[in-house]
């Protein structure tokens, strides 16, 4: 028969009779708790979260740790979106949340959604209420951050609408209101925005916040606002023609100002030589017969409304010369009109 001290020795020596939690042996008069074949000191057999003994010895195990009911639910159990209590038993997972089956109800009419639901702005609805909600929301602007309707002030940011109070000024950190301005993806209060020295578009008189700015006619423009003064189609980087402080596309410039060079058939941008109903750029204003360059001082004849220098005229047979003179002088309308318009 073993004596008490023998038992004490046996308890101390047996490696199996150690506390699973603290790995220490038991003293002979200590209470040993046995749970599923594991032994614990009574002060070691507590909740891993609150270190309190378990009520009625009921514990929940998760990854080899033991928790009291309350902490286990707090840490790991699903939490009902509806009643805010823990869910035991059947869980409905919908719209990124968990629900008691009896709590999963229409957001509007509170009917039990056991036969299906419709998601609308992160909320469940029955079909009828969803329809009503949709109609109600059609004219309502929602904040892209909090998904609630925007009643008063609103700002636009990166293509979405928001309550201004979700944002702060990039520079002064002040909460923004509806006067906030976006510059290259950041939001500023009007005061700080003015300090940024943003160019103003000459067409719409609003700041040019994008990366691309057009510098033309001594002014700055939004790319999409720098357009032909006649057809209003933006140039988008294509060639434009300036006249009296306005810009035109090539087609309308030549239509309005009629200055296509007779020789090269391109729009004249510099000095313009005009004779009869024709125009020439200064590079191409030349005698029709010898292609010799002419200028505003050169004397020339009207040969079927084409200019011919005196030199060439004198080389023509006399019969042709008199025919040219006759053809050009028979009617008032045909009198040679020559003009030379210096550019600017």
Partner 1 sequence: MPGKLLKKILEEHKQSEHDSLSIIDQGINSILEIPELLTLKRLTRLTLSHNRLNSIPAQIAELINLEQLNLSNNQIEELPTSISSFQNLKILKLCFNRINSLPRGFGAFPVLEILDLTTNNLSETSLSNNFFELKSLRALYLADNFFEDLPKEINKLENLQILVLRTNELISIPDEISDLKNLKELHIQSNRLCILPPSIVQLDLFNPKSILKLDNNPWVDGIKNAYDISISHLSDFLASENYKKVYDQEINNSSKASLQPKSERYKRLNKK
Which phi and psi (to 5°) does residue 24 adopt?
-95, 160
Of residues 62, 109, 304, 336, which one binds partner 1 by CB under 8 A? 304
For the chain, the farthest-separated pair of C-alpha atoms sits apart, in whole angstroms, at 160
For position 134 contacting partner 1 by CB under 8 A, the verdict is no
Tell me how far apart the alpha carbons of residues 21 and 39 are, in angstroms, rounded to a whole number.
Answer: 8
For position 152 contacting partner 1 by CB under 8 A, the verdict is no
Q: Which residue has the tokens 């011919």?
A: 308
Q: How far is the CB of 320 from partner 1 (least distance, A)?
A: 6
Contact segment (CB under 8 A) with partner 1 among 28-36, 212-220, 242-250, 283-291 equals 283-291
Whichever of 299 and 315 has its CB closer to partner 1, that residue is 315
Contact segment (CB under 8 A) with partner 1 among 73-81, 108-116, 146-154, 286-294 equals 286-294
For position 341 contacting partner 1 by CB under 8 A, the verdict is no
Whichever of 210 and 266 has its CB closer to partner 1, that residue is 266
Q: How far is the CB of 290 from partner 1 (least distance, A)?
A: 5
For position 318 contacting partner 1 by CB under 8 A, the verdict is no
Tokens of 12: 């101390």
Which phi and psi (to 5°) does residue 94 adopt?
-155, 145
For position 258 contacting partner 1 by CB under 8 A, the verdict is yes
Mark out the alpha helices in 175-262 (DSSP H runs).
190-195, 250-257
Whichever of 232 and 291 has its CB closer to partner 1, that residue is 291
The string of DSSP codes covering 87-140 is --S--EEETTEEE-TTT-B-TTT--B-TT--EEETTEEE-HHHHHHHHHHHTT-
Tell me how far apart the alpha carbons of residues 281 and 177 are, in angstroms, rounded to a whole number.
Answer: 57
Angle at 276 between CA 272 and CA 278, to 5 degrees: 50
Of residues 185, 277, 297, 343, which one binds partner 1 by CB under 8 A? 277
How many residues touch partner 1 (CB under 8 A)?
Answer: 22
Q: Which residues are near partner 1 by CB under 8 A?
A: 258, 263, 265, 276-277, 288-292, 304-305, 312, 315-316, 320, 323, 327, 330-331, 333-334
């Amino acid at each position: 028969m073993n004596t008490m001290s023998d038992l004490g020795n046996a308890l101390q020596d047996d490696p199996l009779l150690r506390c699973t939690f603290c790995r220490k042996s038991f003293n002979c008069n200590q209470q040993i708790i046995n749970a599923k074949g594991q032994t614990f000191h009574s002060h070691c057999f507590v909740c891993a979260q609150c270190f309190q003994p378990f009520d009625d010895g009921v514990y929940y195990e998760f990854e080899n740790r033991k928790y009291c009911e309350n902490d286990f639910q707090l840490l790991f159990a699903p939490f009902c979106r509806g009643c805010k209590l823990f869910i035991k038993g059947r869980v409905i997972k919908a719209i990124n949340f968990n629900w008691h089956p009896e709590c999963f109800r229409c957001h509007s009419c509170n009917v039990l959604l056991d036969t299906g639901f419709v998601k609308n702005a992160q909320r469940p609805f029955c079909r009828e209420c969803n329809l009503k909600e949709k109609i109600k929301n059609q004219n309502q602007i929602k904040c892209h951050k909090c998904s609630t309707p925007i009643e008063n002030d609103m700002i636009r940011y990166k293509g979405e609408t928001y309550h201004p109070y979700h944002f702060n000024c990039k520079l002064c950190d002040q909460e923004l209101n509806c006067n906030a301005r976006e510059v290259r993806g950041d939001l500023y209060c009007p005061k700080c925005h003015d300090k940024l020295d943003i160019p103003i578009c000459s067409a719409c008189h609003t700041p040019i916040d994008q990366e691309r700015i057009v510098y033309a006619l001594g002014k700055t423009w939004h790319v999409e606002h720098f357009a032909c003064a006649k057809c209003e189609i933006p140039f988008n980087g294509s060639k434009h023609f300036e006249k009296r402080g306005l810009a035109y596309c090539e087609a309308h410039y030549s239509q309005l100002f009629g200055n296509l060079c007779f020789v090269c058939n391109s729009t004249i941008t510099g000095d313009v030589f005009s004779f009869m109903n024709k125009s020439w750029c200064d590079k191409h204003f030349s005698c029709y017969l010898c292609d010799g360059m002419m200028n505003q001082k050169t004397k020339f004849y009207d040969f079927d409304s084409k200019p011919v220098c005196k030199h060439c005229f004198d080389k023509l047979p006399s019969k042709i010369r008199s025919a040219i003179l006759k053809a050009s002088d028979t009617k008032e309308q045909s009198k040679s009109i020559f003009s030379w318009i210096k550019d600017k």
